[in-house]
């Protein structure tokens, strides 16, 4: 029976045809400090694009900062200073990596990280109802079903509670509601803080009082919908379990350990690199607005330099923050077919970015906005990259700012990755000295469309790719692609990269020409075994036996060494052999 058909039978959830395309991840996470030079041309191109973009008059009142980081350091940045600044309060006149912005709702990720820390320490549980930590919510005076709302629900935007309690009410902004068809309203029962009282900060009592009359948008855990209230409540939980106010807790748990020395929850003074956009007449500058009890949802001030430290930490710790939690995993669907909610991430996965592959690129993001400030962070687990964009001024420029660095750069990174993979892995492999009696060879090829794949595999004289083990009678064009598991045979020394071979269809028909279920595919990597060993397991050993690359095939009980053509000879493990 062909391996691919066997895969289908072994996975009851698979479609009848079991057609899978472009598996992900396709390569190990790149180490950009060792190959960052491959992105220099892309960065120069980005600079040209931004140099041209800022000539548009809409950038005259707008400053912005963009930075790209890898797991180990900043790779590139671009900073623009508005040509029009407020003469009475200009703020930073030369925007740089140290310039400070309000990042608004990106603060939610800091709140969630603090909750994860408290969960890992045993001070709270993500799956406890919020009533365990805020006793007032157990009162029958509250309409919302708090006993069914967990901390995980809140952090994942799955609580079903309303979005706001003291903002975004047009009663504050429209002098005559009847002009748009609304009836007159007295405002009785509305809060007396934030937008209802000249931006007086709301406190804990204000929040809890307003929650008494709040009604659900959805039942708990039914569907994610954006809510700032979720994180204001989590802020109260953090204060209760830690005994510290929110600002002190975030400083002690996150800012200080990560050396984010410029970050705070109170407004830095104007001379401390403050980005102060020139606001339209009559609009407040939100730099000085105290968020009060709403700080956990949007109160942080930071620089792109500090944000780079934060993104590097997340890129290297997202799967180790708390037992059983991968911080990059989605928890529910958004409204769009490619959009998902995380905890509290906004996740976008698109198959339309890469020019030679339908493999989706996934952006784990968080956005934020206050009047005059617009921010976005992007984490790309597969590429080991983090991007931050902070804008102070005209929000209409955001598309011009974020599109090049999140599209052109990723396409360039993809090309650079395959150049490296080709140089490291592509070639013919023959048996090592202990297996030299075997008539066995393996040839690996690389392309952006097919990834790293088996071009040929002869095992002791048998063409394995033409046997029932790998052949697929249901498709004429398929290839045996190597999928990195990101694990090592020796985890201690991080040696022995483990891959799995998967049969993959080579050509994905256009969406308009394929049946609805054509691209239904569940992940099923651990499939057929032989004598207890995975038939599709491949282990790469770098630098073994004289410095060459060795491939181990455990189920086939053979190790193969890479050979490299040099003129009329071959180099095998560093020793030239004449042909």
Residues 118 and 43 grouped into a single domain: yes
Whether the Cβ atoms of residue 298 and residue 105 lie closer than 8 Å to each other = yes
- CA–CA separation, 232 and 450 (whole Å): 47
Residues 505 and 413 grouped into a single domain: no
Strand intervals (E) in 275-321: 301-303
Between vectors from CA 367 to CA 361 and to CA 372, what angle results, nearest 5°? 140
* Count of structural domains within the chain: 2
pLDDT tens figures, 377-434: 999 999 999 999 999 999 899 999 999 999 999 999 999 999 999 999 999 999 999 9
Domain assignment present for residue 99? The answer is: yes
CA distances from 382 to 26, 109, 362 (A): 8, 20, 8
pLDDT of 73 reads 94
Residues 358 and 486 grouped into a single domain: no
pLDDT of 191 reads 92
- CA–CA separation, 307 and 305 (whole Å): 5
Last residue of a domain, one of 417, 434, 450: 417
Q: In 3D, which of 520, 476, 488, 522 has the Cα closest to residue 502?
A: 522
Domain assignment present for residue 42? The answer is: yes
Q: In 3D, which of 484, 473, 410, 476 has the Cα closest to residue 446?
A: 484
Residues 385 and 506 grouped into a single domain: no
Q: How far is CA 330 from the centre of its chain?
A: 10
Residue with tokens 């931004």: 50
Residues 250 and 315 grouped into a single domain: yes
Could you list the residue range(s) of the whole structural domain that residue 348 is in?
A: 34-165+202-417
Helices (H), 81-149: 107-120
Residues 527 and 474 grouped into a single domain: yes
Q: In 3D, which of 68, 62, 106, 96 has the Cα closest to residue 376?
A: 106
CA distances from 124 to 153, 240, 297, 314, 362 (A): 14, 10, 20, 21, 31
In sequence order, what DSSP letters do the residues of 186-247 get, joined into one string?
A: --TT--SSBTTTTTBPP-HHHHHHHHTT---SS-TTT-----SHHHHHHHHHHHHHHSS-HH
Residues 222 and 323 grouped into a single domain: yes
Last residue of a domain, one of 361, 391, 417: 417
Residues 342 and 394 grouped into a single domain: yes
Residues 452 and 354 grouped into a single domain: no
Domain assignment present for residue 179? The answer is: no
Residues 6 or more apart in contact with residue 85 via CB below 8 angstroms: 91, 93, 276, 278
Residues 409 and 435 grouped into a single domain: no
Residues 121 and 225 grouped into a single domain: yes
pLDDT tens figures, 274-332: 999 998 887 878 899 999 999 999 999 999 999 999 999 999 999 999 999 999 999 99
- CA–CA separation, 275 and 100 (whole Å): 6
Whether the Cβ atoms of residue 368 and residue 52 lie closer than 8 Å to each other = no
Residue with tokens 């011009």: 400
Residues 315 and 411 grouped into a single domain: yes
Last residue of a domain, one of 398, 417, 436: 417
Domain assignment present for residue 294? The answer is: yes
- CATH code: domain of residue 276: 3.40.710.10
| Residue segments in the chain with a per-residue pLDDT below the cut of 70 | 1-19, 33-36, 470-476, 511, 544-547, 564-579
Domain assignment present for residue 170? The answer is: no
Domain assignment present for residue 172? The answer is: no
Residue 314: both structure tokens together: 């997340």
Domain assignment present for residue 183? The answer is: no
Domain assignment present for residue 192? The answer is: no
Q: What is the dihedral of CA 319, 324, 329, 333, to 10 degrees?
A: -170
- CA–CA separation, 559 and 136 (whole Å): 65
């Amino acid at each position: 029976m062909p391996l691919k058909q066997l895969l289908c039978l072994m996975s009851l959830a698979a479609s009848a045809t079991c057609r899978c395309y472009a598996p992900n991840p396709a390569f190990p996470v790149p180490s950009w400090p060792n190959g960052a030079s491959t992105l220099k041309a892309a960065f120069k191109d980005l600079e040209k694009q931004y140099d041209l973009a800022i000539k548009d008059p809409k950038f005259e009142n707008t400053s912005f900062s963009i930075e790209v980081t890898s797991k180990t350091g900043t790779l590139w940045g671009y900073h623009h200073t508005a040509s029009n600044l407020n003469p009475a309060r200009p703020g930073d006149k030369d925007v740089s990596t140290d310039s400070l912005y309000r990042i608004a709702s990106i603060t939610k990720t800091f709140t969630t990280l603090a909750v994860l820390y408290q969960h890992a320490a045993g001070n709270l549980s993500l799956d406890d109802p919020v009533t365990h930590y805020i006793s007032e919510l157990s009162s029958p005076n509250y309409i919302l079903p708090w006993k069914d709302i967990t901390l995980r629900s809140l952090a994942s935007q799955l609580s079903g509670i309303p979005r706001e309690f003291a903002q975004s009410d047009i009663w504050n902004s429209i002098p005559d509601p009847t002009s748009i068809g609304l009836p007159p309203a007295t405002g009785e029962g509305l809060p007396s803080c934030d937008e209802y009282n000249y931006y007086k900060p709301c406190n804990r009592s204000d929040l809890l009082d307003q929650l008494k009359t709040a009604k659900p948008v959805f039942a708990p855990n039914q569907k994610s919908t954006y809510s700032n209230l979720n994180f204001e409540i989590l802020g109260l939980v953090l204060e209760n379990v830690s005994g510290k106010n929110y600002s002190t807790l975030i400083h002690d748990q996150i800012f200080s350990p990560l050396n984010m020395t410029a970050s705070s929850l109170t407004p830095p003074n104007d001379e401390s690199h403050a980005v102060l956009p020139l606001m339209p007449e009559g609009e407040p500058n939100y730099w000085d607005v105290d968020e009060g009890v709403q700080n956990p949802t949007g109160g942080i001030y930071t620089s792109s330099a500090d944000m780079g430290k934060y993104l590097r930490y997340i890129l290297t710790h997202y799967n180790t923050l708390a037992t059983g939690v991968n911080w990059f995993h989605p928890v529910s669907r958004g409204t769009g077919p490619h959009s998902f909610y995380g905890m509290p991430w906004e996740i976008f996965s698109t198959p339309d970015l890469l020019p030679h592959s339908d493999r989706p690129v996934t952006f784990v993001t968080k956005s934020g906005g206050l009047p005059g400030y617009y921010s976005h962070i992007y984490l790309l687990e597969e590429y080991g990259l983090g991007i931050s964009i902070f804008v102070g001024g005209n929000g209409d420029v955001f598309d011009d700012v974020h599109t090049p660095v999140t599209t052109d750069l990723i396409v360039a990174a993809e090309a650079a990755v395959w150049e490296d993979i080709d140089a490291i892995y592509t070639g013919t492999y023959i048996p090592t000295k202990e297996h030299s009696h075997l008539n066995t060879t393996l040839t690996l090829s690389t392309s952006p469309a097919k990834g790293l794949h088996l071009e040929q595999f002869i095992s002791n004289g048998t063409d394995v790719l033409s046997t029932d083990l790998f052949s697929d009678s249901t498709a004429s064009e398929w290839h045996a692609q190597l999928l990195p598991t990101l694990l090592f045979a020796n985890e201690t020394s991080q040696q022995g990269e483990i891959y799995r071979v998967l049969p993959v269809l080579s050509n994905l028909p256009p969406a308009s020409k394929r049946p609805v279920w054509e691209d239904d595919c569940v992940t099923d990597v651990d499939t057929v075994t032989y004598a207890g060993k995975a038939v599709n397991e491949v282990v790469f050993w770098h630098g073994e036996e004289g410095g060459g690359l060795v491939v181990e095939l455990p189920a086939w009980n053979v190790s193969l060494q890479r050979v490299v053509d040099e003129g009329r000879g071959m180099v095998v493990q560093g020793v030239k052999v004449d042909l």
